């Protein structure tokens, strides 16, 4: 098992399979890439990289994009990952194409789905995503539920747009036995002025959940709190601003569609894996690339003073050597 210089374990690989998207969300961070390069990895190459990750005990795979369901071979990618018998295979999707794909994805071995659902209001949905797609997403959620795939609803909080919808989301999630994840907007790739306009702290929701929940547990990734409600619904809150533990409990690295393995969403450097894949596979080269990228990992908010440029100049931080580790 790999540990980085801050004693943080590495167990999760986030695989972005395409830059393409059928939506144009106002908040999109594009997985931390401000540019795109068209030479996308094949399903086979993704499988080879995942097999090397698995050999290093990285055995949680999250598929993302762009919009992963736009890839015609997305079912094949999932089936390829399943052959490795990892602990977890999940996907984050906008859900627009889920109605038809839920069945094939489930049969191929997908274990759970995160569906981005920024609002339950049709007009707001169109305004946020650029697509009049709410009805399609709701049909997609029905389909996923009918295949008994566990669902998490991802809701990026947007000031004055959806930050007052949390009670509706809690009622909605119960119908599909879904987990809810409220995510504070992250200032990645998007314009700083837009970030300042749209950022809504999760504090109001946290106060509400503290009152109505029956218990609280912490997820290992980012030490995120998960509130358990009386009706059994789980509500996770992804609060990064002012949260010193956030990066201390990060356990992943990220693969871009064109094969760059990078240590953190906040940076645009890493190691290009393509020379180890083409024309022939160099397994030792790939293994060393994982080891090197793991060594590049840093608890970003501790080293960079808790994103102080966004937190009104609060530069309080803890010494890196005191970093809380898992
Ligand atoms: N297209 C898919 C989707 O929307 O779910 C996958 C790609 S999307 C970039 C991955 C996740 O990042 C989604 O859950 C989305 O809500 C979240 N996300 C996008 N931009 C964000 C931002 N600026 N801050 C926080 N989360 C963001
Ligand atoms: Fe970005 Fe996902 Fe929205 Fe597409 S659907 S614009 S990838 S957040």
256 closest CA partner among 27, 28, 32: 32
Verify whether ligand 1 is closer than 6 Å to residue 59 (CB atom): no
Map residue 138 onto helix, strand or coil: helix
Q: Rounded to 5 degrees, what are φ and ψ at 58?
A: -90, 100
H/E element holding 214? strand 213-218
Structure tokens belonging to residue 289: 């690339």
The DSSP secondary-structure symbol of 306 reads: G
Nearest-CA residue for ligand 2 atom 1 is: 28
Return the axis-axis angle of helices 134-146 and 122-129, rounded to nearest 10°.
100
The pLDDT value given to residue 315: 32
The pLDDT value given to residue 115: 98
How far are the Cα atoms of 21, 65, 90, 119, 266 from residue 68, in angstroms, in the given order? Answer: 8, 5, 11, 21, 21
Verify whether ligand 2 is closer than 6 Å to residue 24 (CB atom): yes
**What is the whole-number distance in angstroms between the Cα of residue 28 and the centre of ligand 1?**
6
Nearest-CA residue for ligand 2 atom 8 is: 28
Please state the atom number of ligand 1 nearest to the C-alpha of residue 28: 20
Nearest-CA residue for ligand 2 atom 3 is: 25
**What is the whole-number distance in angstroms between the Cα of residue 282 and the centre of ligand 1?**
33
The pLDDT value given to residue 304: 63
- Which residue ranges in the chain fall short of pLDDT 70? 302-326
**What is the whole-number distance in angstroms between the Cα of residue 67 and the centre of ligand 1?**
10
The pLDDT value given to residue 126: 98
Verify whether ligand 2 is closer than 6 Å to residue 186 (CB atom): no
Verify whether ligand 1 is closer than 6 Å to residue 65 (CB atom): yes
Verify whether ligand 2 is closer than 6 Å to residue 203 (CB atom): no
Pocket test for ligand 2, best of 14, 28, 190 (most atoms within 8 A of CB): 28
What fold characterizes domain 2-311? TIM Barrel (3.20.20)
The pLDDT value given to residue 313: 36
Please state the atom number of ligand 1 nearest to the C-alpha of residue 184: 25
Verify whether ligand 1 is closer than 6 Å to residue 31 (CB atom): yes
* Ligand showing the shortest atom-to-Cα distance for residue 190: 1
183-193: burial string, b at 16+ Cβ within 10 Å, e else: bbbbbbbbeee
The pLDDT value given to residue 307: 52
**What is the whole-number distance in angstroms between the Cα of residue 2 and the centre of ligand 2?**
31
Nearest-CA residue for ligand 2 atom 7 is: 66
Nearby residues of 78 by Cβ (< 8 Å), 6 or more positions away: 63, 89, 91, 105, 108, 109, 110
Structure tokens belonging to residue 266: 């906040």
The pLDDT value given to residue 326: 21
Nearby residues of 288 by Cβ (< 8 Å), 6 or more positions away: none
Nearby residues of 154 by Cβ (< 8 Å), 6 or more positions away: 92, 114, 115, 116, 117, 181, 183
**What is the whole-number distance in angstroms between the Cα of residue 39 and the centre of ligand 2?**
20
Verify whether ligand 1 is closer than 6 Å to residue 238 (CB atom): no
The pLDDT value given to residue 321: 32
Count of residues making up the chain: 326
62 closest CA partner among 45, 77, 83, 41: 77
Verify whether ligand 2 is closer than 6 Å to residue 188 (CB atom): no
Please state the atom number of ligand 2 nearest to the C-alpha of residue 156: 8
**What is the whole-number distance in angstroms between the Cα of residue 76 and the centre of ligand 1?**
23
């Amino acid at each position: 098992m790999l540990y980085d210089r801050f004693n943080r374990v590495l167990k999760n690989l986030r695989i972005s399979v395409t830059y393409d998207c059928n939506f144009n969300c106002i908040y999109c961070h594009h997985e931390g890439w401000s540019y795109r390069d068209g030479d996308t990895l094949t399903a086979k190459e993704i499988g080879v990289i995942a097999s090397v990750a698995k050999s290093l005990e990285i055995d949680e795979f999250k598929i993302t994009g762009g919009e992963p369901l736009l890839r015609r071979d997305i079912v094949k990618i999932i089936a390829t990952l399943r052959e490795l018998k990892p602990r977890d295979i999940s996907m984050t999707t906008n859900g627009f194409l889920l109605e038809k794909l839920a069945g094939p994805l489930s049969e191929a071995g997908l274990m759970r789905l995160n569906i981005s659902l920024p609002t339950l209001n049709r007009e707001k949905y169109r305004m946020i995503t650029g697509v009049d797609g709410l009805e399609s997403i709701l049909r997609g959620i029905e389909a996923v539920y009918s295949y008994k795939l566990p669902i998490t609803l991802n809701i990026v909080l947007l000031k004055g747009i959806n930050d007052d919808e949390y009670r509706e989301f809690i009622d909605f999630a119960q119908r599909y036995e879904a987990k809810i994840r409220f995510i504070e907007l992250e200032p990645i790739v998007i314009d700083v002025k837009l970030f300042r306009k749209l950022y809504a702290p999760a504090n109001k929701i946290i106060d509400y959940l503290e009152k109505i929940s029956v218990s609280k547990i912490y997820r290992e990734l980012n030490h995120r709190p998960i509130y358990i409600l009386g009706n059994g619904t789980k509500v996770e809150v992804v609060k990064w601003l002012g949260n010193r533990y956030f990066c201390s409990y990060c356990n992943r690295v990220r693969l871009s569609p064109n094969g760059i393995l990078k240590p953190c969403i906040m940076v645009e450097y890493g190691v290009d894996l393509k020379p180890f894949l083409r024309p022939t596979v160099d397994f030792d080269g790939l293994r060393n690339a994982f080891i090197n990228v793991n060594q590049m990992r840093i608890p970003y908010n501790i080293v960079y003073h808790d994103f102080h440029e966004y937190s009104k100049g609060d530069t309080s931080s803890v010494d890196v050597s005191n970093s809380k580790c898992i």
